[in-house]
Amino acid sequence: MSNPMKGALRCLPAAVTAAGPIPPAAENLSYSMLLPGGAYCAGLAREAVRGLLTRHGLAVLCETAALAASELVAAAYRFTPDREMALRVRWQYDALRIVVYDQHPLHRRPDAAEQCRDRRSRSMWLLAAAVEEHGGDWGLAPALTPDGGTKSWALLHF
Ligand SMILES: [Zn+2]
């Protein structure tokens, strides 16, 4: 007689049942979320980042990280209002990486792209000040998709 549960039991990963669930820690902090793109998303990103860092034992980075996320999302909103954007929060190589991908349209003329990048860089003075005060870094780069898009990021050390 066949056992109807046999297949299901085989599907259970042995490591999880043996060691128990993996608790949140810096090492497994890795989240991605899509934001609808409204101005309110800056506040939402701030709260999400605070919650994630607290849960993963990185509360010491909360204030700077929340400000960084908020500034990245706010800049994405200013330059591409009401378009969906992606927020990634990840701990990797002993640093917190906050990355925002937006859908800013591609500039066909290189000088226009350069001016846009300059304007955006200058608008991020608060992010620059906060991140640099903590020995971190930030930047902007084209997202390299067919439709354009900008990748903006902040990196914070523990
Ligand atoms: Zn532009």
Q: 151 with 141: CB under 8 angstroms? A: yes
CB of 150 within 8 A of CB of 83?
no
What distance in angstroms lies between residue 25's CA and the mean position of ligand 1's atoms? 38
**In this structure, is residue 124 part of a structural domain?**
yes
Instruction: Please write the tens of the pLDDT for every residue from 72-83.
Output: 999 999 999 999
Query: Would 12 be classed as within a structural domain?
Result: no
In the reported structure, the alpha carbon of residue 46 is separated from the centroid of ligand 1 by a whole-number distance in angstroms of 24
Structural domain includes residue 115: yes
Least confident of 7-16, 28-37, 89-98, 121-130: 7-16
On average, the pLDDT of the chain sits at 91
- Is the pLDDT reported for residue 145 higher than 60? yes
CA 119 to centroid of ligand 1, rounded, Å = 9
Are 81 and 37 a contacting pair, CB within 8 Å? yes
Residue bearing the bigger pLDDT, 10 or 110: 110
Residue 59 lies in a domain: yes
Instruction: Please compute the mean of the pLDDT values over residues 128-152 and round it to a whole number.
Output: 92
Report CA(10)–ligand 1 centroid distance (Å).
53
In SS3 terms, the chain reads as CCCCCHHHHHHCCHHHHHHCCCCCCHHHCEEEEEECCCCCHHHHHHHHHHHHHHHCCCHHHHHHHHHHHHHHHHHHHHHCCCCCEEEEEEEECCEEEEEEECCCECCCCHHHHHHHHHHHHHHCHHHHHHHHHCCCEEEEEEEEECCEEEEEEEEEEC
**Residue 148: CATH number of its domain:** 3.30.565.10
In-domain check, residue 10: no
Nearest CA to 101 among 65, 143, 137?
A: 143
Residue 113 CA to ligand 1 center (angstroms) comes to 6
130 CA to centre of ligand 1 in angstroms: 24
Q: Is residue 90 part of a domain?
A: yes
Distance 105 CA to ligand 1 centre (A): 7
126 C-alpha to center of ligand 1: Å?
Answer: 20
Residue 1 makes CB contacts below 8 A (sequence gap 6+) with: none
Q: Which domain holds residue 134?
A: 28-157
Q: How far apart are CA 35 and CA 44, in angstroms?
A: 9
Asked if residue 134 belongs to a domain, the reply is: yes
How many angstroms separate the alpha carbon of residue 79 from the centre of ligand 1? 7
In a domain, 112, yes or no: yes
Ligand 1 geometric centre to CA of 107 (Å): 6
43-59 residue pLDDT tens = 999 999 999 999 999 99
Give the whole-angstrom CA distance, residue 133 versus residue 156. 10
Which residues, other chains included, contact 31 with Cβ-Cβ below 8 Å and sequence gap of 6+? 52, 88, 89, 90
Q: Ligand 1 centre from 80 Cα, in Å?
A: 8
| pLDDT tens readout for residues 16-40 | 666 678 899 999 999 999 999 999 9
Domain count, the chain: 1
Indicate yes or no: pTM above 0.75: yes
